[in-house]
């Protein structure tokens, strides 16, 4: 008799499907295989667990190949009433035991995770009942006395405690912003009003962030119902005033769970009727519905699913047999785990607070960034700023860019201008980066001058990489005095940071430079110190991932390897993260360098792969991975060595990476960072201090670093920070894309 206890894990997706679930499935299966655990897919969620039979099947490395870009879930999901009963769960337990599965990873919403928790609690009881009724042998029961569970939140609603982001929420926001951007352009042409209803059940995240990202004019969410009973009147007054101030369209975003402060449901037809009466024009309603769930997952959701899936297996490996179920989540850019039961309880507490009309509690349970976003939104969607208070010191704050254009720059300017004006200050726009500061192309920006900038790619103020030196500095000092500039917000990349630092070090020579300067990170390269993510990097990543998806599709019926070159200067962020999101089997980074030995090993890897049936190869190379072994060289080398076995094509993505409208994440981040930077400048000026800083996100927090620390925190000749958090993800990218011997033949989807 074979006494070896099988080491098996069951994985299932349950409840509403969400883009990014497939990335999690792939990561769970592949990480399990590399750790010697046999993964079993449980098809159609808990229903498959109850049905058993061929709904529970072993799944191998190739079974999860070529699924990263697909929406939904390839292992199916369902809602299952049987599982709500103990009898149903008894059958489910029997099916698990028959397959010798005593570990589960469940990807679903709070309902599914509640179900998982209940199964865990009942496990011992279910086991004894199954033994006493002879449904399973005592031997099997003895082998699997405990059930280990980890949960990942797959839900577009982002409604779960224990993670900043749920798998699918970012993709849903992509769909919402695309839709609202399109609606805005037609609405503006006809001067129309639109009500756009978005999903989210009783969570207002999608509506709130959708409004923040698109520059909508009004938002209604469950956690923060309108303050007054005559909210309809107030909404109408605001929208009419907006039109008078020059807005050509009016967009109201309505969360599906929106209610008034007495708990009465607010429906889209009601809002539309009210608006038609007060605006005296036809109002169109768009219910976005399942479009929000569909489509290819965003780069963020692919990587989130991948990292959480990988962490789920690691968590199971480090658990003891009596470990409580854990929820794997994300805080900032770090993976966290918390007891699942607490997360479910806290999530339910928000729903309860809403149904008890305790909105303050509901809002605070959603967390500080949700509240902060609501406050910012309330300011920037005003029709006009609050007038300055009598006797207030009005500061003159200049806003400018420096560096290559980065999507989200305009969004940041819009937020900064409106927040500054609303607090009574004078906002100045500098055209064309440092060249404009040198030539004096500086003018006042008013409230409506930044209208519509939330969703606009490129850089309306203009930007370039000029770093001032010599007589430039004298001109800048002169203009600072001439235009009476009290502080500067610099939204840009490396050249901006270098220039600001130069001005800072020249303070003794140029007294005019004794003003506070804040550098807000905005570059697709994500190569700035003091910020884990810079504005624009997420958009570029999505641009790359879209392009690579298309490139992969173009390889029909051929054995082909693509070598894709991406931007980033000497920072490999875009290369690594796009490699992770597209399943590239090799990523070349300047941080690691490339040697001839590496290239030889890669040739061998490709030959072995294609010989054993692989049809498609994908390699991603940072533009400066190695100055000698350039993309063209590598391509020719691989092509020559591939002989008749495979051919190689290179694709240098170029400027498409910088273009397009900013992604929702970049818009939200740009708004958040701009609000914080303006706050910092105003505080310095109110206190008559002149500290200068560079700032950004670190974990979940926004941090400011003294500008003097710039040289200490960077490798200057490589133009990147000394600390790069994402380098820690390299082993995961490698592990998931390069097949484990004996488990796989190919990574990419077989071509038909």
538 binds ligand ADP (CB under 6 A): no
118 binds ligand ADP (CB under 6 A): yes
Binding ligand ADP (rule: CB under 6 A), the pick from 31, 112, 259, 692 is: 112
44 φ/ψ sector (left φ>0, alpha ψ -120 to 50, else beta) = left
257 binds ligand ADP (CB under 6 A): no
Binding ligand ADP (rule: CB under 6 A), the pick from 48, 109, 168, 530 is: 109
User: Which of these ranges, 14-22, 566-574, 652-660, 674-682, lies near ligand ADP under the rule CB under 6 A?
Assistant: 14-22
14 binds ligand ADP (CB under 6 A): yes
CB of 652 to ligand ADP, least distance (A): 42
Torsion of CA 705, 708, 714, 720, to 10 degrees: 70
User: Which of these ranges, 80-88, 133-141, 501-509, 577-585, lies near ligand ADP under the rule CB under 6 A?
Assistant: 80-88
CB of 76 to ligand ADP, least distance (A): 13
**Lookup: tokens for 73:** 């879930």
User: Which of these ranges, 102-110, 213-221, 362-370, 514-522, lies near ligand ADP under the rule CB under 6 A?
Assistant: 102-110
Residues 6+ apart with CB under 8 A from 367: none
User: Which of these ranges, 55-63, 107-115, 263-271, 523-531, lies near ligand ADP under the rule CB under 6 A?
Assistant: 107-115
Q: Which residue is nearest to ligand ADP (CB)?
A: 111
Which of 16/420 has CB closer to ligand ADP?
16
Binding ligand ADP (rule: CB under 6 A), the pick from 8, 12, 13, 16 is: 16
Residues 631 and 564: beta-carbon distance below 8 Å: no
CB of 72 to ligand ADP, least distance (A): 13
Residue from 569, 576, 560 nearest 299 by CA:
576
Which of 201/224 has CB closer to ligand ADP?
201
CB of 724 to ligand ADP, least distance (A): 35
**Lookup: tokens for 66:** 């070529």
Binding string, residues 40-69; x marks residues near ligand ADP by CB under 6 A: ------x-----------------------
200: helix, coil or strand? coil
The C-alpha atoms of residue 332 and residue 641 are separated, in whole angstroms, by 43
Of the residues 110, 157, 217, 666, which is catalytic? 157
The C-alpha atoms of residue 235 and residue 253 are separated, in whole angstroms, by 12
The C-alpha atoms of residue 409 and residue 402 are separated, in whole angstroms, by 10
> From residue 673, how far is each of 171, 403, 752 by CA, in Å?
22, 18, 47
Residues 646 and 610: beta-carbon distance below 8 Å: yes
154: helix, coil or strand? strand
User: Which of these ranges, 109-117, 192-200, 446-454, 647-655, lies near ligand ADP under the rule CB under 6 A?
Assistant: 109-117
Place of tokens 């035991």: 97
Residues 6+ apart with CB under 8 A from 487: 395, 396, 397, 398, 515, 516, 517, 518, 681, 684, 685
What count of other Cβ atoms lies within 10 Å of the Cβ of residue 426?
18
**Lookup: tokens for 204:** 């207002």
Binding ligand ADP (rule: CB under 6 A), the pick from 79, 143, 284, 331 is: 79
Site for ligand ADP in 81-100 (CB under 6 A): 83-84
Phi, psi values for residue 412, rounded to 5°: -65, -40
The C-alpha atoms of residue 304 and residue 310 are separated, in whole angstroms, by 10
Residues 384 and 447: beta-carbon distance below 8 Å: yes
Which of 46/610 has CB closer to ligand ADP?
46
CB of 115 to ligand ADP, least distance (A): 3
Binding ligand ADP (rule: CB under 6 A), the pick from 13, 31, 95, 114 is: 114
User: Which of these ranges, 75-83, 337-345, 497-505, 632-640, lies near ligand ADP under the rule CB under 6 A?
Assistant: 75-83
Binding ligand ADP (rule: CB under 6 A), the pick from 115, 436, 568, 617 is: 115
Site for ligand ADP in 154-193 (CB under 6 A): 155
The distance from CA 710 to its chain's CA centroid, rounded to whole angstroms, is 27
Catalytic residue flag (residue 157): yes
516 binds ligand ADP (CB under 6 A): no
Residue from 672, 680, 674 nearest 700 by CA:
672
- Site of interaction with ligand ADP (CB under 6 A): 14-16, 46, 79-80, 83-84, 108-112, 114-115, 118, 155
For the annotated catalytic residues, the residue numbers are 157
């Amino acid at each position: 008799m074979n006494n070896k206890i099988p080491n098996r894990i069951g994985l299932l997706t349950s409840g509403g499907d969400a883009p990014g679930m497939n990335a999690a499935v792939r990561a769970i299966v592949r990480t399990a295989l590399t750790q010697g655990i046999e993964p079993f897919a449980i098809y159609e969620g808990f229903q498959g667990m109850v049905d058993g039979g061929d709904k529970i099947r072993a799944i191998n490395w190739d079974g999860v190949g070529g699924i990263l870009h697909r929406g939904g879930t390839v292992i199916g999901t369902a809602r299952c009433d049987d599982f709500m009963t103990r009898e149903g769960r008894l059958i489910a337990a029997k099916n698990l035991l028959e397959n010798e599965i005593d570990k589960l990873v469940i990807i679903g919403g709070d309902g599914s995770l509640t179900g998982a928790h209940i199964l865990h609690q009942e496990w011992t009881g279910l086991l004894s009942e199954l033994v006493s009724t002879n449904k399973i042998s005592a031997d099997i029961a003895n082998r699997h006395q405990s059930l280990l569970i980890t949960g990942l939140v797959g839900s577009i609603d982002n409604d779960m405690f224990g993670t900043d982001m749920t798998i699918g929420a970012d993709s849903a926001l992509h769909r919402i912003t695309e839709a609202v951007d399109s609606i805005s352009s037609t609405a503006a042409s006809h001067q129309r009003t639109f009500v756009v209803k978005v999903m989210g059940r009783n969570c207002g995240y999608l509506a709130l962030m959708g409004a923040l990202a698109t520059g909508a004019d009004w938002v209604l969410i469950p956690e923060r119902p309108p303050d007054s009973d005559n909210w309809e009147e107030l909404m109408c007054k605001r929208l009419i005033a907006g039109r008078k101030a020059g807005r050509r369209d009016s967009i109201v975003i309505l969360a599906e769970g929106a209610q008034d402060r007495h708990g009465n449901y607010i429906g889209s037809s009601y809002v539309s009727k009210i608006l038609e009466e007060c605006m005296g024009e036809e109002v169109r309603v768009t219910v976005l519905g399942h479009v929000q769930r569909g489509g290819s997952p965003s780069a963020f959701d692919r990587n989130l699913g991948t990292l959480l899936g990988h962490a789920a297996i690691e968590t199971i490996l480090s658990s003891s047999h009596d470990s409580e179920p854990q929820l794997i989540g994300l805080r900032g850019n770090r993976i966290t785990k918390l007891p699942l039961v607490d997360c479910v309880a806290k999530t339910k507490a928000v729903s309860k607070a809403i149904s008890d009309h305790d909105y303050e509690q509901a809002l605070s349970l959603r967390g500080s960034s949700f509240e902060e976003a609501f406050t910012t939104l309330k300011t920037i969607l005003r029709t006009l700023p609050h007038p300055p208070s009598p006797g207030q010191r009005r500061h003159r704050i200049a806003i400018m860019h420096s560096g290559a254009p980065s999507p989200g720059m305009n969004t940041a300017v819009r937020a900064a201008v409106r927040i500054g004006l609303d607090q009574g200050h004078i906002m100045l726009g500098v055209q064309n980066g440092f060249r404009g500061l040198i030539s004096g192309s500086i003018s006042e920006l008013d409230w409506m001058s930044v209208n519509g900038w939330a969703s606009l790619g490129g850089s309306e103020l203009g930007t370039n990489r000029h770093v001032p030196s010599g007589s430039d500095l004298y001109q800048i000092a002169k203009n600072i005095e001439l235009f009476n500039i009290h502080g500067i917000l610099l939204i840009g990349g490396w050249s901006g940071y270098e220039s600001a630092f130069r001005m800072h070090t020249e303070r003794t020579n140029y007294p005019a430079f004794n003003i506070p300067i804040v550098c807000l990170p905005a570059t697709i390269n994500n190569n700035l110190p003091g910020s884990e993510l810079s504005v624009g990097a997420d958009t570029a990543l999505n641009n790359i991932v879209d392009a690579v998806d298309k490139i992969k599709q173009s390889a029909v019926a051929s054995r082909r390897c693509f070598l894709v070159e991406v931007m980033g200067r000497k920072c490999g962020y875009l290369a690594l993260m796009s490699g992770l999101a597209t399943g590239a089997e090799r990523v070349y980074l300047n941080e690691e360098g490339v040697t001839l030995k590496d290239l030889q090993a890669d040739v061998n890897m490709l030959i072995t792969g294609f010989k054993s049936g692989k049809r498609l190869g994908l390699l991603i190379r940072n533009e400066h991975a190695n100055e000698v072994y350039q993309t063209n060289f590598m391509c020719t080398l691989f092509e020559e060595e591939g002989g008749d076995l495979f051919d190689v094509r290179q694709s240098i993505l170029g400027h498409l990476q910088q273009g397009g409208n900013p992604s929702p994440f970049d818009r939200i981040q740009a708004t958040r960072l701009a609000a914080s930077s303006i706050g910092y400048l105003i505080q310095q000026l109110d206190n008559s201090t002149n500290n200068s800083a560079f700032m950004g996100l670190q974990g979940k927090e926004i941090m400011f670093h003294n500008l003097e620390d710039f040289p200490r925190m960077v490798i200057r000749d490589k133009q990147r920070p000394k600390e790069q958090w994402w380098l820690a993800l390299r082993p995961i990218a490698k592990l998931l894309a390069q097949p484990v011997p004996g488990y796989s033949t190919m990574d990419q989807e077989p071509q038909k």
